[in-house]
Structure 1
Amino acid sequence: MVILREGMCPGLDAGLLRNLRAADVKTVEDLVSSDTEELARKCSVSYKALLAIRRVLLAQHTAFPVSGADLYEELLSSTAILSTGNPSLDKLLDSGLYTGEITELSGGPGSGKSQVCFGVAVHISYRLKQSVVYIDTTGGLTAGRLLEMLQTETSNTEEQMAALQRIQIFRLFDVYSLLDCLYGLRSGGLQQASVGGGSVKTVIVDSVSAVISPLLGGKHNEGMSLMIQVAGVLKTMAKDFNVAALVTNHVTRSGSGEVQPGLGASWSHIPRTRILLERLEPAAAVSPSGLRSATLIKSSRQPCHIKAEFDLGWWSRSEEGSSRKRKLDETDS
């Protein structure tokens, strides 16, 4: 408990201190937990001056209890939900990607992890008009592929270019470069990456396991330390800057042969939401080869192990094509 003293912060002089004590406000905790407006009236001081003192004291002494209701209100006011652009995936994610959190897509080769990331980036940059930071650690992202997807969204060249400009791409192929990039983004790079009037709302790392898994195992524990550093900076960046972090991960098999996300138990606590992607084999010639199964394997909002099916080609459909398909479906039914 910290007793209020004269000169603790600008504006806290002897006269105000006497008035505060007369109002039974003797500690820093008393002051910051009081109704500022009512206290200003009792102490004959301006509300603005007392609010400034309160803010300084809060910054200097932060170890005060906060009620669950206050935290919940703060969460509601700060969290945004970003649609992935795919209704099936959004439903599985309880409406989309949540800012302040890490969402993981895991899957084997050909499961569609990168394709989903491409689609999410295009949807957020074009439809939501927000900037995206895309960290490519596998060399799989090309501007041509993004442009191809944007061309199905709009035939307007200026709109295509504006959307492309909102996707900032970093190509990094080792964990040290990844850490340098993430620390740089957290230290001010996110503001610099905001272009076209939209702030950065999504940071995509495709793939986080590509640069970490080669360093895990064996006699050295450096890989584990680097993985925890990556996790830490991603989590603080997501929370402090209110962005949604989307990462991809490879898969391994458990002792019983079950497919599970890679990077081990320590990493499993990092993402708030984890989705396992798997390729669905076409049952017939008419079945689309882009059909994927998505299983929710970790979530704080939805029951685990619920599944959804979606077509990777969803993000490459034009609005006109989708409208025609809906009309045909309605006619057929």
Structure 2
Amino acid sequence: MVVLRGGMCPGLDEDLVRGLRAVDIKTVEDLVSSDIEELAQKCSVSYKALFAIRRVLLAQHTAFPVSGADLYEELLSSTAILSTGNPSLDKVLDSGLYTGEITELSGGPGSGKSQVCFGVAVHIAYHLKQSVIFIDTTGGLTARRLLQMLQAETNNTEEQMEALQRIHIFRLFDVFSLLDCLYGLRSGRLQQASVGGGSVKAVILDSVSAVISPLLGGKQNDGMSLMIQVAGVLKTMAKDFNVAALVTNHVTRSGSGELQPGLGVSWSHIPRTRILLERVEEATAVSHSSLRSATLIKSSRQVPRTDCGRQRSHSAHLAV
């Protein structure tokens, strides 16, 4: 039996623990086996908050069995799909970014990865009125570019400023600073960013490879360990706080010369969905094309490209 105590997980404070004890919920087992809707009414707390606490405790204490029906019900009640603001990309992503998951955009220099990330941040902040955490490890994000994108959406200066306030930017240039930031967000800063600006619905990391790939050459064991730490905290944060994590990655070439995401096999298991962005080589007679192709290469919901060629039904052209 594991006794409930304040601070065991986000949202479970001493006041809530006292309220649970008052209705004879004293252990983790008592809580995860209770009817959450009924319990929320008895304790006069939010059903959503109590449900989220139950999810975290289930993950932390895996000795308690969960049925497939419970997991499916949890999925339906907790997963949200966030539009990227680009209909073509949404189609490739099976409607958009899924909360609780990591989605990866990979591509070479000039493929449009950062521009897509900027667009996602602006769309969520302006159209969805929700907050975004944007972690910039390349120095490529500027307030001027975000403002330009917002000006294309609205002429209202007040609306532009409100949207900008919902985008919380961290500039970090090494993996240790990145880990400090991610652990800080997971332990409470993510909830603080939600105050007054809509709840945080997305964490964007542009780029994960910029701080990890330099460590995978010489001291490979150290680099691999740090990479797995970054992956672990991103995955738990996405699930525990029901946010969509979007990361960018560089590309390498396979033995056959085909472009593939970087960071190796170990990282390939981390994102649930992987998109490859490439320049479209075509140019019109009037001007050079600014189109990029987005191709699905990994998905738990759709059939991605085959090994011998890309399935065009899961590829789209984006204006970036």
Q: Compute the displacement of 1:285 (Å).
A: 2.1
- Structure-1 separation of matches of 2:213 and 2:193: 28
- Structure-2 separation of matches of 1:244 and 1:35: 27
1:249 is aligned to: 249
- Give the counterpart of 1:307 among 305, 315, 320: 315
2:265 is aligned to: 265
Residues 282 and 237 from structure 1, CA distance in 2 versus in 1: closer, same or farther, beyond 3 angstroms?
Answer: same
Residues 98 and 174 from structure 1, CA distance in 2 versus in 1: closer, same or farther, beyond 3 angstroms?
Answer: same
Residues 282 and 75 from structure 1, CA distance in 2 versus in 1: closer, same or farther, beyond 3 angstroms?
Answer: same
Residues 77 and 291 from structure 1, CA distance in 2 versus in 1: closer, same or farther, beyond 3 angstroms?
Answer: same
CA contact (8 A) 2:113 2:277 kept: yes
Residues 31 and 273 from structure 1, CA distance in 2 versus in 1: closer, same or farther, beyond 3 angstroms?
Answer: closer
- Structure-1 separation of matches of 2:303 and 2:36: 42
**1:167 and 2:167 are equivalent in the alignment:** yes
Residues 77 and 210 from structure 1, CA distance in 2 versus in 1: closer, same or farther, beyond 3 angstroms?
Answer: same
Write out the 4+ residue segments of structure 1 that deviate beyond 3 Å after TM superposition.
9-13, 28-37, 58-62
Question: What pairs up with 1:112-127 in 2 under 5 angstroms?
Answer: 112-127=112-127
1:85 is aligned to: 85
2:231 is aligned to: 231
- Structure-2 separation of matches of 1:107 and 1:194: 31
SS of residue matched to 1:242: coil
CA contact (8 A) 2:23 2:42 kept: no
SS of residue matched to 2:292: strand
Q: Compute the displacement of 1:11 (Å).
A: 7.6
Residues 161 and 30 from structure 1, CA distance in 2 versus in 1: closer, same or farther, beyond 3 angstroms?
Answer: closer
Q: C-alpha offsets along residues 257-290 of structure 1, whole Å, 9 cap, x if unaligned?
A: 1110000000000000000000001242246521
CA contact (8 A) 1:166 1:195 kept: no
| RMSD across aligned positions (CA) | 2.9
Q: Give the TM-score taking structure 2 as reference length.
A: 0.79
- Structure-2 separation of matches of 1:111 and 1:82: 22
Question: What pairs up with 1:99-178 in 2 under 5 angstroms?
Answer: 99-178=99-178
Q: Compute the displacement of 1:66 (Å).
A: 1.4
- Structure-2 separation of matches of 1:209 and 1:237: 19
2:293 is aligned to: 293
Number of aligned pairs?
Answer: 277
- Structure-2 separation of matches of 1:166 and 1:251: 31
SS of residue matched to 1:170: strand
Q: C-alpha offsets along residues 38-72 of structure 1, whole Å, 9 cap, x if unaligned?
A: xxxxxxxxx959xx9xx9xx889762221111100
What letter matches 1:193 in structure 2?
Answer: A
Q: Give the TM-score taking structure 1 as reference length.
A: 0.76
CA contact (8 A) 2:107 2:261 kept: yes
1:76 is aligned to: 76
Structure 2, unmatched stretches of 5+, are: 3-19, 44-49, 306-313
SS of residue matched to 2:105: strand
Question: What pairs up with 1:307-326 in 2 under 5 angstroms?
Answer: 307-312=315-320
Q: Compute the displacement of 1:156 (Å).
A: 0.6
What letter matches 1:307 in structure 2?
Answer: S
2:65 is aligned to: 65
CA contact (8 A) 1:108 1:278 kept: yes
Q: C-alpha offsets along residues 274-319 of structure 1, whole Å, 9 cap, x if unaligned?
A: 000000012422465210101100001111022111111xxxxxxx
Q: Compute the displacement of 1:12 (Å).
A: 10
CA contact (8 A) 2:204 2:245 kept: yes
Q: C-alpha offsets along residues 198-257 of structure 1, whole Å, 9 cap, x if unaligned?
A: 100000000000000000023441100000000000000000000000000000011121
- Structure-1 separation of matches of 2:270 and 2:251: 16
Residues 35 and 115 from structure 1, CA distance in 2 versus in 1: closer, same or farther, beyond 3 angstroms?
Answer: closer
Residues 29 and 235 from structure 1, CA distance in 2 versus in 1: closer, same or farther, beyond 3 angstroms?
Answer: closer
Larger radius of gyration: 1
Residues 94 and 130 from structure 1, CA distance in 2 versus in 1: closer, same or farther, beyond 3 angstroms?
Answer: same
CA contact (8 A) 2:182 2:233 kept: yes
1:276 is aligned to: 276
Identity in percent: 85
